[in-house]
């Protein structure tokens, strides 16, 4: 039953509302724990933010990243552009080696001599030399100029063009080291740059430039003259008629003799 307190106001019976007293005890216990927690040293917001960021970064790098580098070329014996690009590729790889190791990136490099039309079509090879990083050509735009070394090497009936590289507003006959380094670092960190890459055409068409090169290279197997003779018998523009035509290959004598 209700009873009167000292002030004459009726209060609840303790027997009837025992839960009220227990809740008050619990509240006092929580206040005590809160006071104890406030006295303990805590991380500042800046440190907590850094800790969380590092945790996220470690989580993202748990799975090793992989970079596949492809170097495709027509010739590494006489073509100065292919040889210089090959050397610069190795230099660029050594330059970023410490970054690759720190980021846990595994690099696989594949170098391939493209020696036939079938292989060129299978690899969607459009110009020599070519460097691809994870399937993407590091040269956004294709530019070519006459390559005297490849023209003389194949004895083509017509000029052979090889790739030139644009970087920093300048033109280079070989892939510059900074261009290769930027391509590798972009593959690791530059998600926005990767999103701006051009979309490759659905149907691949082998350029006429490469068709001439492979046709002349195949014809060399049936030519009647040695490479030494061809080097001095005529000019580069005349070699397709003088040395490597079907008529001259089957004749008793040819332009070299």
The tens digit of pLDDT for each residue in 50-71 reads 555 545 555 554 456 889 999 9
pLDDT at residue 159 in the model: 84
Beta pairing class for 105-113 and 65-73: parallel
Tens of pLDDT, residue by residue over 144-195, are 999 999 888 887 777 899 999 999 999 999 999 999 999 999 888 875 555 4
Write down the pLDDT at residue 87: 97
Q: What's the pLDDT tens digit per position in 66-122? A: 899 999 999 999 999 999 999 999 999 999 999 888 888 999 999 999 999 999 999
- pTM comes to 0.62
Question: Going by CATH, does the domain composed of 63-205 fall within 3.40.30.10?
Answer: yes
With a CB cutoff of 8 Å and minimum separation 6, the contacts of 133 are: 67, 68, 69, 70, 183, 184, 187
Residue 26 has pLDDT above 50, yes or no: yes
Q: What is the DSSP string of the chain?
A: --EE-TTS-EE--TTTTHHHHHHHHHHHHHHHHHHHHHHS----HHHHHHHHHHHHHHHHTSSPEEEEEEEEES-SSS-HHHHHHHHHHHHHHHHTHHHHHHTTEEEEEEEEE--SHHHHHHHT--SSSEEEETTEES-SS-EEEE-HHHHHHHT-SS--EEEEEEETTEEESS--HHHHHHHHHHHHH-HHHHHTPPPPPSS----HHHHHHHHHHHHGGG-SS-HHHHHHHS-GGGHHHHTSSHHHHHSSS-TT-
pLDDT digits (tens, 9 = 90+) for 206-228: 999 999 999 888 876 555 566 66
Instruction: Assess whether pLDDT exceeds 70 at residue 249.
Output: no
| Residue 242 confidence (pLDDT) | 65
- pLDDT of residue 232 exceeding 80: no
Of 42 and 110, which is predicted with more confidence? Answer: 110
Q: Give the pair of three-digit tokens for residue 204.
A: 């691949």
- Residue 103 is predicted with a pLDDT of 85
**Would you list the domain boundaries of the chain?**
63-205, 212-250
Mean pLDDT of the chain: 76
């Amino acid at each position: 039953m209700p009873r009167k307190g000292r002030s004459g106001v009726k209060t609840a019976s303790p027997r009837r509302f025992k839960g009220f007293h227990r809740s008050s005890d619990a509240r006092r216990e929580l206040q005590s724990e809160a006071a104890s927690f406030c006295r303990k040293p805590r991380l500042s917001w800046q440190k907590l933010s850094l800790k969380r960021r590092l945790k996220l970064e470690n989580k993202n790098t748990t799975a090793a990243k992989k970079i596949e580098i492809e170097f495709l070329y027509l010739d590494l014996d006489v073509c100065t552009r292919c040889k210089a690009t090959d050397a610069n590729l190795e230099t660029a790889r050594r330059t970023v080696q410490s970054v690759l190791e720190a980021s846990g990136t595994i690099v696989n490099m594949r170098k391939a001599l493209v020696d036939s039309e079938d292989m060129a079509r299978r690899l969607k090879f459009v110009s020599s030399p070519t460097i691809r990083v994870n399937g993407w050509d590091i040269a956004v735009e294709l530019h070519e100029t006459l390559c005297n070394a490849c023209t003389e090497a194949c004895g083509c009936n017509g000029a052979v063009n090889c790739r030139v590289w644009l970087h920093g507003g300048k033109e280079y006959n070989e892939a510059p080291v900074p261009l290769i380094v930027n391509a590798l670092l972009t593959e690791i960190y530059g998600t926005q740059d990767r999103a701006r890459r051009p979309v490759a055409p659905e149907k691949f068409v082998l350029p006429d430039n490469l068709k001439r090169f492979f046709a002349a290279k195949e014809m060399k197997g049936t030519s009647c003259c040695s490479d030494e003779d061809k080097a001095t018998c005529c000019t580069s523009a005349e070699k397709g008629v003088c040395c490597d035509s079907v008529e001259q290959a089957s004749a008793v004598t040819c332009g070299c003799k």
